[in-house]
Structure 1
């Protein structure tokens, strides 16, 4: 796959297969979570929503083991008690498991796509998933993007932390301005922050600033 193919492909399975051996499981788990968040309004059970949030923390290795165990158990109870949404909610349960990997992420993507199609009659949600992957990985599967430590000023780092913690993706253009003020002249980084488009938890530019893999 070339970078041009990556930027235009809508084949989620092909895109995931391409990155699965080039990156660890963190971003793929976050991809699965992003897929679940794309049908957030359809997830009307707070336990399931907490499950998605917990899975995101698991991707970063955050949160005590007893919390993960309790949330996982609670999610499984809801899965069994909600036959109408069991198919979707099972994806959240799977994302909580320690073995979450590319197969789990793909299964979540499929479950979300099918659920959204059944609920709305369209494939719009499934069509957004390649954009999640491109936001998570950017051009990194093809070439390294240099990040000068001098660009990581206190302002830049604080902005990136807030964007990550609060899912405040509307601040991405502000992050670009702060990076440019710090001397960043990398077009890949600045354009990604400023170009309108989807951003998800684990965005490659925010990860680059925060030194997340």
Structure 2
């Protein structure tokens, strides 16, 4: 696939692919309607693995019409939550992630999801209160730093709330500085490189590979992914991108695009 010039709206951050002749002209954002000079950045195949900014990665994908589904957004929130906040033992957080994963598999909200959402919204409201003492005389920078630390500590609330919402898309306020690298890594896990034309060969979906994929997905036994690569190769798969994804030392999660292809999920 060709390289693409992506315009990131300076007002709302939404992405749009631009034609070469549009550079340095004015362009209107299709989301918020703001008009600005179309200074875009050129991205290509190799940049997909190099980009470190989560939002830029999302905009590249959407600009190339590789738009994450609600299921993928839901599983992305769960993957970040389980990894970045594995220490969190709040029962509403844990119940929300389990409910969201069931929602992703069943296609509809399971029993208990509305209650989780209500509790998380109440907790989020309390966490975002301005706790500045009425007679605060410290520096604004110190108070801002303290607020940022609290957002990092309670970031699990926003992720869990998104996971059990009707609209599970993650926004800038949902990703903290601390979990942004994980968000970027998991996004690449769920969304394959949109610059590469990739067609899944149904001949690779034999009983051995499908059973192994079901086991990995159900038990979250992601260390077995290299064995899945061997099974795919035995089934005739010589696609280096597929095999390298399974064998690479990287984070894996439910929603992995290779597992989804084998299990017929989207």
For the criterion TM > 0.5, the same-fold answer is: yes
1:31-180 pair list within 5 angstroms: 31-62=76-107, 65-76=110-121, 78-79=123-124, 86-101=154-169, 104-110=170-176, 113=177, 116=178, 125-139=179-193, 141-180=194-233
User: 1:32 and 1:109 mapped to 2: Cα distance?
Assistant: 10
Q: Normalised by the size of structure 1, how large is the TM-score? A: 0.80
Cα offset, 1:193, TM superposition? 0.7
Contact 1:151 1:182 in 2 (8 A): yes
Q: Which has the higher helix share?
A: 1
TM-aligned CA distance change 1:32 to 1:193, over 3 Å: same
Number of residue pairs matched by the alignment: 198
1-structure distance, mates of 2:82, 2:256: 15
2:15 maps to none
Secondary structure of 2:73's aligned partner: helix
Which 5+ residue runs of structure 2 have no aligned equivalent? 1-42, 129-149
- The question of whether the paired residues in 1 share the 8 Å contact of 2:127 and 2:154 is answered with yes
Q: Normalising to structure 2: TM-score of the pair?
A: 0.65
Unaligned runs of 5+ in 1: 117-124
Instruction: Give secondary structure in 1 for the equivalent of 2:197.
Output: coil
RMSD in angstroms over aligned alpha carbons? 2.4
Q: Give the alignment partner of residue 29 of structure 1, picking from 58, 69, 74.
A: 74
The answer to which structure has the higher strand fraction is: 2
Higher CA-based Rg: 2
Counterpart Cα distance in 2 of 1:207 and 1:178: 16
Measured in 1, the distance between the counterparts of 2:154 and 2:260 equals 33
User: Could you say which structure has the greater relative contact order, defined with CA pairs below 8 angstroms and 6 or more residues apart?
Assistant: 1
Q: 1:87 to 1:133 in 2, by over 3 A?
A: closer
